[in-house]
A = this chain, B = another copy of it.
Amino acid sequence: MSITIKDVARESGVNISTVSRALNGSYGVHKETREHVLAISARLDYRPNRFARSLVTGRSHTLGLIITDIRNPYFADVARGAEDTARTGGCDLILCNGDWDADKQMGYVHSLLGKRVDGIIMTPVATLKRDHLEQLTRCTVPIVLLNRAAPDKLFSTVTADNEAGGVLAAQYLLRLGHRRIAHVSGSRRQRSMTDRSAGFSRGLKAARSAELTVLHNENTFAGGYAMTMELLRRRPETTAIFASSDVLAFGVLRAMIEAGRKVPEDISVLGFDDIELAGVVHPPLTTIHQPKYELGRAAAEILLAYEGDKATRSVEHRVLGVKLVERESCRKLG
């Protein structure tokens, strides 16, 4: 058995409550007493049992993060932002990979609830049913939803301004003189994807002469590749492609290489996300930067703020800005 507050108390010749006070820095302990206690507990390598503390305080100093898969670089960034911030606020972060599986996600929620985490950050999968959401609303711990634009009255949300990013993409391509444009995107059921597409369409409307071809497939390298192959067949005259994610754009790039079309000489490619490798592929990908790290940070901040005053647990919605990062995959036409 490890050493407890009693040992420290006995060793320093004071009562356990004095030890507790000395360690927690509450006022009302004589300076010398405190220092003595601190010295003893350091010597004994005393480590307060967080369970015992949490049992009485009701706070675990732990946050839960439920994402789909940490191997997705996007979520790794988010996780890092959340962990750094949680740590600053004295909290640990429990990592949960939900894998697009609604039941698995809900299983994590329940597990975290059992651990009495102080808050949960989650990227809800689109397949989360009303029933599930209702369960969430009944939760006693605060939940922050990531990448869910729908401004719920029940949960706080943090999301990138996907629609504005779509508009930005459109404006940029138009400015470069492109008119025969294609858009490859992921699942129509994922809000972040559809918002980008909506913004893009809206942005293109500014130019009457623009022609837009839209394709959907899964949001993966393979999906981007497949859509591009189809596009080259159906619309070989296309001069620019906007992909809803960098991963999709990588698939586009790969397809272009195989089709012998040079980027950006023959065709421009624009991505979304700005994951680290966007700057590494060839050609370096011009893309819409999304503040991934900051997304995680913002979510954790909201949760930490709740900890301060449990009373005023008002719902909050943060939308973080996006921006264009010009590299070398797009060029001015003509």
A residues contacting B by CB (< 8 A) are 1-2, 45, 47-52, 54-55, 58, 60, 62, 65, 69-71, 73, 76-77, 79-80, 83-84, 92-97, 110-116, 138, 140, 221, 250, 253-254, 257, 276-277, 280-282
Contacts and interface: CB of A to CB of B under 8 A. Distances in A.
Nearest to A138: B45
A305 B71 CA distance: 26
| Copies held by the complex | 2
Contacts of A84: 97
Contact of A110 (B47, B221, B250): B47
Given A52-B55, A71-B276, A221-B280, A93 B92 contact: no
A69 B73 CA distance: 12
Given A54-B51, A83-B70, A280-B221, A92 B111 contact: yes
A64 to B, nearest CB: 8
A254 B69 CA distance: 29
Contacts of A113: 47
A143 B92 CA distance: 19
Contacts of A1: 58
A75 to B, nearest CB: 8
Contact of A50 (B49, B116, B221, B257): B116
B47 A51 contact: no
7 contacts: A1-B58, A50-B114, A73-B73, A94-B95, A257-B282, A280-B281, A282-B282
Contact of A95 (B2, B71, B83, B116): B83
A253 B282 CA distance: 9
B71 A80 contact: yes
A45 B138 CA distance: 10
A329 B94 CA distance: 39
The residue in A54, A84, A95, A253 that gathers the most chain B C-beta atoms within 10 A of its C-beta is A95
Contacts of A45: 138
A140 B2 contact: yes
A95 B93 CA distance: 6
A97 B79 CA distance: 10
Contact of A83 (B2, B93, B97, B253): B97
A209 to B, nearest CB: 34
